[in-house]
A and B are shown apart, each in its own frame.
Chain A
Amino acid sequence: MNEIVLETEALTKYYGSTLAVDHIDLKIPRGCICGFVGRNGAGKTTAIKLMLGLLNPTTGSSRLLGCDSSALTSAIRQRIGYVTEGHRLFRWMTIAGLEKFQRSFFPKQWDDKFFADMIEYLNLPKKKKIKHLSNGQRAQVSLALALAPNPELLIMDDPTLGLDAAIRRQFLEGMIELIMRQGRTVLFSSHILGDVERVSDRIVVIDKGVLRANCSLEQFQKAIKKVILSFADSAPDEVNIDGLLHCKRIEKQLELTLIGTDDEKISEWAKSVGAENYHIVKMNLEDQFIEFTAPANHKRLFQWEER
C-alpha cells in the first residue's frame, strides 16, 4: 500500500454554531494529484487550513507527512508547499525580494535555477512590486515560490480562482512540472472542474462540510451516469434502483442519475419496469459534480476502494 502523506480523522470544525467541516476522514497517498472540489462555502478552505494547523479543529485530528497538524515542526513545514487562497503575498515586496525572503526558509532545498527559469518563462519582471502585478502574475509568482523549494507535498487553495483560461493553462503546466518530479503529492482545491479533470488522478468531493467522495478520478467518472428511459405509456411512479441520485420525469421519459450502478443492473431494472428502450448519456466531470452535489436524499460517502 502507498504511504499516506495526508490523513484526517473525524476532522470537525465549528465556527460558533455553524458547522464548517463535519467529521472528515481522508487519506491521501504519496504521489497522487488530488483535486479537492466543492461548491462555494463547502468547507474546502477551512479543511485546508485545519490540515496546515492554521485553524484548530473542534474535534478530530489531521496529520501531514506523519506529523500532527497542530504541532507541525519547522522541518515538516519545509517539506510542504502552500499556495494561499487569492495568492496573498506581501504587496510592497518585489519578486526578487520575495524570492530572497522565501529562500531563507529553505536554505538547502531552494532551486535557484528552477525559480529563475520559471520567472523568465512566465516573463515576469523581477524588480516589479507585487502590488503592481496582475492577478495572473501574482498567481504565477505564488506558484513559483511554492515550487522552487521542491516540496514533497504541495497544497493549493483555489489557485486558479479569477484567472483567465490562458493563465490557468500556464499555471497548470507549472503544476505538471512538479508532478513530473517523482513522489510528489499535490492537493489542490478548485471550482473549475476542467482543471481537475486535466491534471488530477484523484478526486475528493466535499459538500456542506461533509466528505462525499474520495476515489480515483477514473472511478468517479465511471460511477456517475445519466440514464434516459422511454416508456410506451407512462413512466412508473416509483423508482427503486440502487445508487439513485436524482430522478426526473419528462412526459413518457424518465431521466435518472445513478452512482455506482453497473450497466447490467440498469438493463435488468429497465426490463423490470417495462421500459421500451434506454440509453446512457455521457457526462463530463462538471455535470457529474453538479448532479452529485445537488440536493438529494442520497448522501452517503462514495469511496470506491472501501465499498
Chain B
Amino acid sequence: MRFSTLLRKELRECLPWMLLAAIAFLAVGGFFLRAEAYYENIRHYSRLSPGTAVDHYRLTYYSILNVTGPWLFCLSIGLGLVLGIRQFWIPNFTRTWPFLLHRSVSRKTILAAKLTATLIAFVISIGPVWVGFYWYACRQEVFPIPPTFRVFIEGWIFIMLGLVAYLGTALSGLSTAKWYTTKIFGLAFATVIIVTTLSQWTLVGIFTVIAISVAILLSLIFDSFLRREF
C-alpha cells in the first residue's frame, strides 16, 4: 500500500511530461511518417516500372519508420533528462526531501517507486505510439514492403537509451559534489554509453552495453541514495 502510494505520487509528478512526450511523438513523428509514406509510395511504384530494379538494402533494412528515428531518439533522451531532473534535482531546490524521507518505509522503497514510475512513464507514453507507428508502417496500402522487426526493436533501443539518460541525470542529481567535479559523472557516463550504443551494429552488442551500463548506474544510484544526507 505504501509503495503504491509512493508510486502514484511519482507517476503524478511524471504525468505532464509523459503526456507531452506522447503528444509530441505522435504529432511530429506522425507527420514525418505520413509524409514519408506518401513520397515512398510514389518512389516505390516508379521503381517497379519496367527496366528498374529494387536494391537489396531497400528490401531488407530500409524502412519508412526510419524517418521517425531521430525524433524518437531526441524525445526519449529529452524525457529521460526531464524525469531525472524532476525526481532528483527539483527536490534539492524545493527542499522536500526531508518530508518525503521521513516516511514509515525504507529509502529503498522510495527509490524503487521513483524508478518504477519512470519505467512505466517511458513504456506508456512513447511505447504505444511507437507500436502504433510500426503497425501503421506494416500496412500494405501505406508501404508495400513492410518494415523488418529489427526496425521495431531499434525503436525500443532508443527508448532504453532514454532510460540510460534518466539514470545518468538521477545519479548526477544525487551527488552533493560541485557540478564541475564528480557531480557531472552520471551525465558524462550516460553520454558515453549512448554514443557507444549507437556505434554498435549487432543487437547483442547493443543489449550488452545497455545492460552493463544500467546495472552500473543502478548500483551507484542505490548506493548514493541510501548513503546520502538530505
* Residues of A that sit less than 8 Å from B by CB: 49, 52, 54-56, 74-75, 77-78, 80, 82, 84-86, 88-92, 100-101, 104-107
Task: Verify B104–A78 contact, CB threshold 8 A.
Answer: yes
Closest to A45 in B: B98
A275–chain B nearest beta-carbon distance, Å: 53
Contact of B104 (CB < 8 Å), options: A55, A56, A74, A91: A74
Which residue of B1, B98, B229, B230 is within 8 Å of A82 (Cβ)? B98
> What are the residues of chain A within 8 A of B106 when measuring CB–CB?
74
Q: Is the CB of A92 within 8 A of B13?
A: yes
B5 touches A105 (CB 8 A): yes
B96 touches A77 (CB 8 A): no
Instruction: Evaluate contact between B102 and A90: CB separation under 8 angstroms.
Output: no
Does residue B19 face the partner (Cβ distance < 8 Å to A)?
Answer: no
Q: Find out whether the CB atom of A104 lies under 8 angstroms from the CB atom of B96.
A: no
CB-defined interface of B1-27 with A at 8 Å, one 1/0 digit per residue?
110010001001100000000000000
Are B94 and A88 in contact (CB-based, < 8 A)? yes
B104 touching A54 by the CB < 8 A rule? no
The DSSP consensus for interface residues of chain A is loop
Instruction: State whether A56 touches B229 (Cβ < 8 A).
Output: yes
Bound-state CA distance A304–B5 (Å) is 47
The answer for the CA separation of A91 and B104 in the assembled complex, in Å, is: 21
Chain A residues positioned under 8 Å from B13 (CB to CB): 92
A90–B6 Cα distance when bound, in Å, is 12
- In the complex, the answer to whether A54 meets B2 with C-beta atoms within 8 Å is no
Cβ contacts under 8 Å, A54 to chain B: 97-98, 101-102, 229-230
- Note all chain B residues with C-beta closer than 8 A to A89: 96, 99
A91 CA / B230 CA spacing, docked (Å): 19
Determine whether the beta carbon of A92 is less than 8 Å from that of B104: no
On whether the beta carbons of B96 and A90 are closer than 8 Å, the reply is yes
Contact A104 B1 (CB under 8 A): yes
Q: Which of B1, B95, B97, B104 contacts A75 (CB 8 A)?
A: B104
A107 to B103 Cα, complex, angstroms = 12
* B residues in contact with A75, CB < 8 Å: 104
Partner of A101, one of B5, B101, B104, B230: B5
A-side contacts of B102, CB under 8 Å? 52, 54, 77, 80, 82, 84
Contact between A106 and B101 (Cβ–Cβ < 8 Å)?
no
Contact residues in A for B1 (Cβ distance below 8 Å): 104, 107
Return the contact of A55 from the options B5, B9, B103, B229 (Cβ within 8 A): B229
With known contacts A86-B95, A104-B1, A92–B101 Cβ distance under 8 A: no
Contacts of A55 in B (CB 8 A): 229-230
Partner of B94, one of A56, A91, A104: A91
Residues of A near B229 (CB, < 8 A) are 49, 54-56
* Distance of A78 Cα from B103 Cα, bound (Å): 7
B12 touches A92 (CB 8 A): yes
Find A77's partner among B97, B103, B227, B230 (CB 8 Å cutoff).
B103
Contact B95 A84 (CB under 8 A): yes
Q: Which of B91-140 contact A (CB under 8 A)?
A: 94-99, 101-106
CB neighbours of B9 from chain A (8 A): 90, 101
